[in-house]
């Protein structure tokens, strides 16, 4: 996987559970001129689990210090999440109470302050099947947290999936966007997913039909419907400096990973010059 990333012209990768332990990982990354773009921190403040949330965060800070890669830590609140369950996420996601929102604001501000003091940037990832998914949720989160300590991750695919225009979020919160995940959406699969109330994982796989592609694809794929150029322009207007991380969780039996990695990298170079 890492060799194909390097062959495609990418400079790094997210951390992943299939990767080896950190010593071997650092060696393999170095051999290919790669680094880690970010680790993922799942928190559970809304269900009262501050201790585990803090431990997960501390472990990821320690990991990134060892790897010596990006200074970005990605966080998402997973209290009550349903995206890993076999149910339709858009109808069954958690809706936080005022008390839960307050606990989330407090917890994220504390983590964000600690990240800041350690030289890291904490970026929140609105995610399908969680309590921060819609534009209203994002507005509430941004208003309730300290802009010095909590930044925003722009994930084009998750926003579009949730019915949110990624360009609107980019224009509204450009000053707080400090990390970017680029996913494209296949509209036909999204429509089928909503009509049949597929789970998140089923949507990624394209259902049980071997000929139906997954909901996500890469920037540059003609099957995708998201217009990325205006988003890049809005990021440029906000003087964004940071990672552009290509994501497209797809069934490799339906979408060859190297083919799509090359497709995305070629497209990004043609648009950004980088």
**What is the per-residue DSSP string for 172-232?**
HHTTTEEEEEE-EEBHHHHHHHHHHT--HHHHHHTSS-TTSPPSEE-TT-TTB---HHHHH
**What is the per-residue DSSP string for 102-113?**
HHHHHHHHHHHH
pLDDT attached to residue 17: 87
Cβ contacts of 127 within 8 Å, gap of 6 or more:
76, 81, 83, 133, 155, 158
pLDDT attached to residue 248: 86
CATH class, domain 2-272, is: alpha beta
Helix, strand, or coil here: 3?
helix
- Per-10-residue mean pLDDT for the chain, 274 residues long? 96 93 96 96 96 95 94 97 97 98 98 97 98 98 98 98 98 98 98 97 92 96 97 97 94 94 97 91
Enclosing H/E stretch for 151: strand 151-155
pLDDT attached to residue 209: 85
pLDDT attached to residue 171: 98
Residue 58 CB-density burial (10 A; 0-12 exposed, 13-18 middle, 19+ buried): middle
Distance CA 31, CA 86 (A): 39
């Amino acid at each position: 996987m890492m060799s194909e990333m390097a062959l495609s012209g990418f400079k790094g990768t997210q951390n992943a559970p299939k990767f080896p332990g950190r010593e071997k990982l650092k060696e393999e990354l170095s051999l290919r001129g790669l680094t880690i773009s970010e680790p993922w921190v799942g928190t559970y403040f809304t269900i009262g689990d501050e201790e585990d949330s803090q431990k997960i965060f501390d472990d990821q800070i320690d990991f990134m210090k060892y790897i010596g890669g990006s200074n970005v830590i990605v966080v998402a609140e997973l209290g009550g999440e349903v995206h890993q369950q076999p149910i339709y996420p858009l109808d069954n996601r958690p809706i936080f109470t005022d008390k839960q929102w307050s606990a989330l604001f407090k917890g994220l501000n504390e983590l964000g302050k600690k990240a800041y003091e350690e030289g890291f940037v904490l970026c929140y990832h609105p995610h399908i099947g969680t309590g921060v998914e819609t534009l209203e949720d994002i507005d509430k989160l941004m208003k309730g947290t300290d802009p010095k300590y909590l930044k925003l991750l722009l994930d084009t695919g998750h926003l579009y999936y949730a019915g949110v225009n990624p360009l609107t979020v980019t224009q509204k919160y450009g000053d707080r966007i400090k990390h970017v995940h680029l996913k494209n959406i296949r509209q036909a699969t999204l429509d089928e997913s909503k009509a049949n109330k597929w789970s998140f994982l089923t949507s990624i796989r394209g259902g049980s039909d071997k000929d139906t592609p997954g909901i996500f694809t890469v920037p540059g794929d003609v099957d995708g419907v998201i217009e990325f150029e205006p988003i890049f322009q809005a990021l440029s207007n906000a003087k964004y400096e940071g990672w552009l991380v290509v994501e497209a969780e797809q069934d490799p039996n339906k979408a060859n990973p190297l083919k799509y990695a090359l497709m995305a990298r070629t497209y990004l170079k043609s648009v950004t010059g980088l």
